Amino acid sequence: MLDEETKKILRRQHYKLVGENAAVKLCLWAKRALKGEGFCYKQQFYGIPSHRCVQMTPCVSTCTQNCLFCWRASDFTSKLEKEDEPEKIFQGMLDAQRSLLSGFGGIKEQPAPGLLEEARKPSQVAISLSGEPTLYSQLPEFIELIRKNNMTSFLVSNGANPEMLARVKPTQLYVSLCAPDEETHKKLCAPSIPNAWGKLNDSLELMRGMEKQRTTLRMTLVKGENLHSPEKYAKLIAKANPMFVELKSYMCVGFSTKRFDHSNMPRYEEIMEFAGKVAEENGYIPVDSNNVSRVALLARDEKTAGKRMISKLV
């Protein structure tokens, strides 16, 4: 359960708290989309409308890692002591998003008619805001509730809880692969549980069997830390055999600025070069990129690349 000091910090950072441990925060790209200033690369890559996406978490301060590149306050606990029912979190999430959008009613000229009204009726939930969502014991039921309400879901996990990953069926599953080897993983991801590297590899094996699910490996790359050994990354990717791989530059924001600076942010050109090296090693193909977010997208093959757009709610 969140203590009062943690709640105060989160509220100052514009989080809307829901129940005991869930939270919502309006995404930077949702704000920009509403002002006509661009949209998230996930809209470009997968067709997810930025202004209709809810960024949330069922366990805001609970995680099994304290990644050095994380922009959140990384003093997480590794156990979720109290949680709410999925229905309460779902409704609270929608209410929180609408509350966070209320200030945008003052925009005199919307970039497109009805954009704000659409934003008030979200179509996508990104379960990725903070913490490790697979620690929420009712996550499968929560994701199913999202589906029943005709919304898509992207679930982002650090892969340290393969038992839960075997139970969930989001629209698209992301597993973070932020180290090519155990030594780098221990240093950069700072796991707070034993055998975190082994559990991550179990998740990669599990992902390989998810042929009917959309699967993605997400690599956050920090210059001077984990931007090396493309051949090792390629082997791990081959183990998981995901549909997609996102290679993204670390961004020097939030609490991560206490540990890194702008020199640790790979340039777009460096990300593209590294993505090319990984692709050469395992046969994945480059299919898209975004300069602003410094991210490259690889697909398993041409057939997979043709299926990347989520054009219909499931």
Average pLDDT, stretch 30-42? 92
Does pLDDT of 253 surpass 90? no
Q: What's the pLDDT score for residue 52?
A: 96
Q: What's the pLDDT score for residue 130?
A: 87
Candidates 3.90.1010.10, 3.20.20.70, 3.40.190.10, 3.90.700.10; CATH matching 4-305: 3.20.20.70
With cut-offs at 50, 70 and 90, classify the pLDDT of residue 33: very high
pTM here?
0.93
Between 256 and 200, the more confident residue is 200
pLDDT digits (tens, 9 = 90+) for 79-111: 777 889 999 999 999 999 999 998 787 666 666
Average pLDDT, stretch 229-258? 93
Does pLDDT of 147 surpass 90? yes
Does pLDDT of 297 surpass 50? yes
Q: What's the pLDDT score for residue 5?
A: 80
Q: What's the pLDDT score for residue 104?
A: 80
Average pLDDT, stretch 143-158? 97
Mean pLDDT taken over the chain: 92
With cut-offs at 50, 70 and 90, classify the pLDDT of residue 76: low
Between 232 and 110, the more confident residue is 232
Does pLDDT of 314 surpass 50? no
Q: Percent of the chain, pLDDT > 70?
A: 95
Given the DSSP bridges, would you call strands 22-24 and 285-290 parallel, antiparallel or unpaired?
Answer: unpaired
Q: What is the domain partition of the chain in residue ranges?
A: 4-305
Q: What's the pLDDT score for residue 111?
A: 66
Average pLDDT, stretch 41-54? 96
Between 282 and 114, the more confident residue is 282
